[in-house]
Amino acid sequence: MIEKLAFITYEQHKKLVQTIVAEVLSMEKVNGFMLIGSVARGDAYPESDLDFYILLEDGQKKKFHSEMREDILVEYKGADFNQIQVNFKNNPMELYSFLEGKILFDKSGELKKLKEIATYEFENYRVSSDKMKGISHWLHSSLIKIQSALKANDELKASYLVHTSTWTSLEGIWAINNKPVPPARDLL
């Protein structure tokens, strides 16, 4: 298994992933297991957390779970095949987990299929004109308010307005490129 994990930079992460995979393989009602996040992408730090996606059998549910293992935060989220597809539609940010994730095991072939679906959805993602108009209105309105605050020498208010508009600015950058905003962890 260690050879299969050659993409993992740090030995501590590699050993912990190997241990966790062995544990999850013995669980019932689990069809697949995928490493996501910075360790999967290859941009982790030695103390970075481990993020996993558990593909459950149809109809099974699992709440988000986290734990500390060997001084590393380990986070697990899980869903079945159908729920993951719903998640893609309701929260396009979820696509990134499957675009960048590394399959550790896939008993049913469904993780591979979900990665294909995520790739298709990402490549064909389009931001609606209503969403674009909303972002544009918000940013234009914010600009007017920021300029007004600066004109009145109210730097505190101007700073606050910049802060509250930052996320919408990021949404706008991604929207003009017809891509969903990636999770913050992917931008750092």
Tell whether 20 and 88 lie within a shared domain: yes
DSSP labels, 90-104? H-GGGHHHHHH-EEE
Domain identity same for 92 and 113: yes
DSSP lists the bridge partners of residue 52 as: 35, 76
The side-by-side arrangement of strands in the sheet containing 62-69 is: 62-69, 72-80, 50-56, 30-36, 102-106
Answer yes or no: do 164 and 113 share one domain: no
| Co-location of 71 and 163 in the same domain | no
87 and 35 inside one domain? yes
- What's the CA gap between 14 and 6, in Å, rounded? 8
Parts of the chain with a pLDDT under 70: 1-3, 185-188
One-letter amino acid for residue 166 of the chain:
T
Q: In the chain, which ranges are continuous DSSP H helix?
A: 11-25, 38-41, 81-90, 95-100, 110-123, 129-151, 155-176, 184-187
Q: Dump pLDDT digits (tens) for 20-71.
A: 999 999 888 999 999 999 999 999 999 999 999 999 998 888 889 999 999 9
Residue located via tokens 């990134």? 96
Q: What DSSP assignment string belongs to 62-76? A: EEEEEEEETTEEEEE
Q: Left, alpha or beta for 37 (phi > 0: left; psi -120 to 50: alpha)? A: left
The pLDDT value given to residue 62: 80
Residue 171 domain boundaries: 129-187
Is there a single domain that holds both residue 22 and residue 44?
yes
34 shares its domain with 111? yes
Q: Are residues 24 and 62 in the same domain?
A: yes
The domain boundary residue, chosen from 73, 98, 123: 123
| 174 contact partners, CB below 8 Å, separation of at least 6 | 180, 181, 182
Instruction: Write down which residue in 105, 123, 141 finishes a domain.
Output: 123
Token digits of residue 169: 């600015």
- Residue at token pair 């501590």: 12
Q: Which residue has the tokens 């389009």?
A: 126
CATH number of the CATH domain containing 65: 3.30.460.10
Q: How many domains does the chain have?
A: 2
Are 147 and 91 in a shared domain? Answer: no
**The pLDDT value given to residue 53:** 96
| Same domain (yes/no): 49, 98 | yes
Do 136 and 65 fall within a single domain? no
Residues 115 and 140 in one domain: no
Q: Which pLDDT value is given to residue 185? A: 61
